[in-house]
Structure 1
């Protein structure tokens, strides 16, 4: 059958490159050993689509990694550069909320379906025409994130961007974005223990992995790290690599477009990254916070992170926070912003449900000045649902996920564990108002029947994106 080369067909082919739950678990159990081929394979894929690594230097890359806040830092950085550089600014981030093309942006806007499909098929057909792989175990087509990274590189090179803000997917050292030989500047956001054992079980191991993006002669920046040992590892790696290292100063308080007290740290790194980039173009900014940066920081938008959306009688409080630290920040923001009385929540299987929910409620109680017990009682309805989009068991194409364990999914194991954790934390809460549901559409349907409400959606960016899709909140996706 002849290809239509539509966006829908591109997404369908892209989804065939997703790793399933078993593969992801194998990588975790390997302790990262299966990732050691990542960079050689990415170089091979890049060659097969017609580029050499040095071509990527044309993109003028700001490379950003970290455990917490790298997406927000990327958004702040892009917004500052966009107001200081005439031309096209590329931004590559992950994950997406409603549409895959959100990951690849030009001047703040996701590329169109037509542009995505055009460049996707150029990459796909070049790989198809040159199927010889690096090793016997290397697939002809790269896995999902690697393919999207190749697509971003190809798109940005084809469109001739003047600067690129490049967010690392996972880690740093073995991440598929880490094949740019000489970025303009690199930065590491706040470090913490990732919710995966692949990158290491100590803060020092995490830091060593993240510092893998530092390059010889390229400024290597970091925020002040809460755990001193992590910061020491970053400095040590930078010195060994020959990368000028700097711990960036915290900017004075200023209006930020992204909510949450933690955003000041992210904005501080973004300011330093933008100053470092602009310096290479002869634009010197000596102040800790230049006046010309204040407007862009205030105008920065980053959908699905501490985002409030009004829709009729419903106030949606959307935050993809998914670690204990980020859920604390989420709780502080949500209860200062409103008084949530409905919760929609999900998290990756096998993680500490009670710890995650407890962090959210503790922070909410602190922000609202009531006890955790009272805060729990203030909820009308609590919903734990899967990330499956629709009630018929199907995903929207862009939101398809093969990473969910089918056994977990069929038994709602994660959702029932979350339900049990909620009832343990809130023993007097009516059990019939705590739901474990098989889809996001099931959850939204319950919310629609409740009348006026303030709904907090948290625990997963995939969940937030699915809620935005099903509830018709796509209009809130813009960054301006």
Structure 2
């Protein structure tokens, strides 16, 4: 998912020397950061965000609100969709932040690699050290630091005193690294909780996750704010109403579609308010109206895939890939169906660390048919034949296909319904990145 650039060449060289996966420990990155002069200690105030689903959206909401408030905001997110640069957004005073300049990123990667001097380390750890270099050497008012995997041993967890920590919805994902029970995953995510630092919990659909996180916050003496207890959000007359101990805010509905985005927006507002950032009410309104988060229920209305579809079709794109994300996406599609009824076709590619049957289960009774496709940019993709079997096991009609475009053409070439179809391309951020790249819609 990289393009030819100085930075991509530096990172490609790292990929040849070091393992691509995760080796959960903080010893290696701490050693490297010491050799780099402890840049993680020289950051603007940080918001540290973990969770299974929603952490990227919460990051996007926080950034949009703070930027609308005139603040310069650095943002670290992962993984990227098309280019490595997406992981590093550099804040600019009085205007939106921009993806890191290619030469700046290449220099920081080369500097971190040189300091590491070939010692055992993962690529993600080096790239996290690059985050701290870039964000410590460019002035800003805030840092948004999204966890890569888990929390307790994630490379971002070397920061010592963030302004606030945020933990979004928790469900099963990355079981081989984090454990095969929700309570174990919650304990890993809760590892970002710091003594005395406010903790904001997004909506937790699993009672055991809330119980584990509440206990961890209590032991750390960390002031705790819980969605549904200390702050709330709901839709009323086409508006978002946010409520906490300070009162009500009457806000526009978030630009990001889906009911789950009301919760994510509320979690971001609570984090900013209780982390000491105090955005003006007008900034919150503007942030919700202008927020962007590519590859999450993003509608595609240009490019070769759109042109291949039956005229008037809707093309949607979402990188959700676990059972919790499947439920949120299915709920969003059900809302779309209520507004404009269309036959729904899923085009799905997944990698082999995911639970495909669990993901598909939410779409039973909603999707007319599933096409399963290879994930071209990953060598860990599930074979489309096997993925189709998983969809069938979840009660869906499914068949394998060679590509996203072939699936769209198969439907569109013989379409005779008066309602144009609705396509959802989903199941993997790799697949999403491929579609955005081919559509000329790489994040900027």
User: Could you say whether these structures have the same fold, taking a TM-score greater than 0.5 normalized by the shorter chain as the test?
Assistant: yes
**Residue in 2 that maps onto 1:444:** 405
Q: Deviations over 1:365-390 (max 9, x none)?
A: 2xxxxxxxxx42xx4xx53222224x
**Residue in 1 that maps onto 2:12:** 12
* 2:383 counterpart SS class: helix
- Within the candidate set 343, 348, 351, 1:345 is matched to 348
**Residue in 1 that maps onto 2:144:** 165
Contact 1:79/1:300 (<8 A) preserved:
yes
Contact 2:58/2:268 (<8 A) preserved:
yes
Write out the 4+ residue segments of structure 1 that deviate beyond 6 Å after TM superposition.
none
Q: Does 1:244 align with 2:228?
A: no
- Within the candidate set 34, 40, 60, 1:75 is matched to 60
- Structure 1 gap ranges (5+): 28-33, 134-138, 366-374, 390-400
Distance in 1 separating the partners of 2:126 and 2:158:
14
* 2:275 counterpart SS class: helix
Residues 230-309 of structure 1: matches in 2 within 5 Å? Answer: 230-247=209-226, 248-253=230-235, 254=240, 255-279=253-277, 283=278, 290-309=281-300
Query: Going by fraction, where is helix more abundant, 1 or 2?
Result: 1
Residue 445 of structure 1: how far off its partner (Å):
5.2
**Residue in 1 that maps onto 2:433:** 465
Residues 328-407 of structure 1: matches in 2 within 5 Å? Answer: 328-337=327-336, 339=342, 341-349=344-352, 351-362=354-365, 365=366, 375-376=367-368, 379=369, 382-389=370-377, 401=378, 404=380
Residue 306 of structure 1: how far off its partner (Å):
0.8
1:245–1:421 CA distance, 2 compared to 1 (3 A): closer
1:101–1:53 CA distance, 2 compared to 1 (3 A): closer
Residue 192 of structure 1: how far off its partner (Å):
1.5
1:334–1:157 CA distance, 2 compared to 1 (3 A): same
Higher mean C-alpha deviation, range 62-71 or range 321-330:
321-330
Contact 1:89/1:163 (<8 A) preserved:
yes
1:385–1:125 CA distance, 2 compared to 1 (3 A): same
- Structure 2 gap ranges (5+): 91-95, 241-252, 414-419
**Residue in 1 that maps onto 2:389:** 420
Contact 2:172/2:182 (<8 A) preserved:
yes
1:17–1:257 CA distance, 2 compared to 1 (3 A): farther
Contact 1:7/1:114 (<8 A) preserved:
yes
* 2:177 counterpart SS class: coil
Residue 148 of structure 1: how far off its partner (Å):
1.5
Distance in 1 separating the partners of 2:356 and 2:188:
27
1:78–1:418 CA distance, 2 compared to 1 (3 A): same
**Residue in 1 that maps onto 2:400:** 435
Residue 6 of structure 1: how far off its partner (Å):
1.9
Higher mean C-alpha deviation, range 186-195 or range 149-158:
186-195
Residue 193 of structure 1: how far off its partner (Å):
2.2
Query: Going by fraction, where is strand more abundant, 1 or 2?
Result: 2
1:155–1:356 CA distance, 2 compared to 1 (3 A): same
* 2:171 counterpart SS class: coil
Q: Deviations over 1:235-256 (max 9, x none)?
A: 2212222222222411343210
- Provide the aligned C-alpha RMSD in A: 2.8
Residue 426 of structure 1: how far off its partner (Å):
6.5
**Residue in 2 that maps onto 1:116:** 105
Equivalences, count: 398
Distance in 1 separating the partners of 2:285 and 2:344:
35
Contact 2:364/2:395 (<8 A) preserved:
no
**Residue in 1 that maps onto 2:247:** none
1:231–1:17 CA distance, 2 compared to 1 (3 A): farther
Distance in 2 separating the partners of 1:72 and 1:194:
17
Distance in 1 separating the partners of 2:332 and 2:203:
22
Q: Deviations over 1:454-477 (max 9, x none)?
A: 431111111111121123333xx2
- Within the candidate set 3, 15, 26, 1:39 is matched to 26
Q: Deviations over 1:397-419 (max 9, x none)?
A: xxxx46x2xxxx6xxx6321112
Q: Deviations over 1:347-374 (max 9, x none)?
A: 2226543332232234xx2xxxxxxxxx
Distance in 2 separating the partners of 1:236 and 1:425:
35
Distance in 1 separating the partners of 2:97 and 2:151:
24
* 1:246 counterpart SS class: strand
Q: Does 1:62 align with 2:47?
A: yes
Residue 453 of structure 1: how far off its partner (Å):
5.8
**Residue in 2 that maps onto 1:151:** 130
* 2:364 counterpart SS class: helix
Contact 1:90/1:164 (<8 A) preserved:
yes
**Residue in 2 that maps onto 1:320:** 319
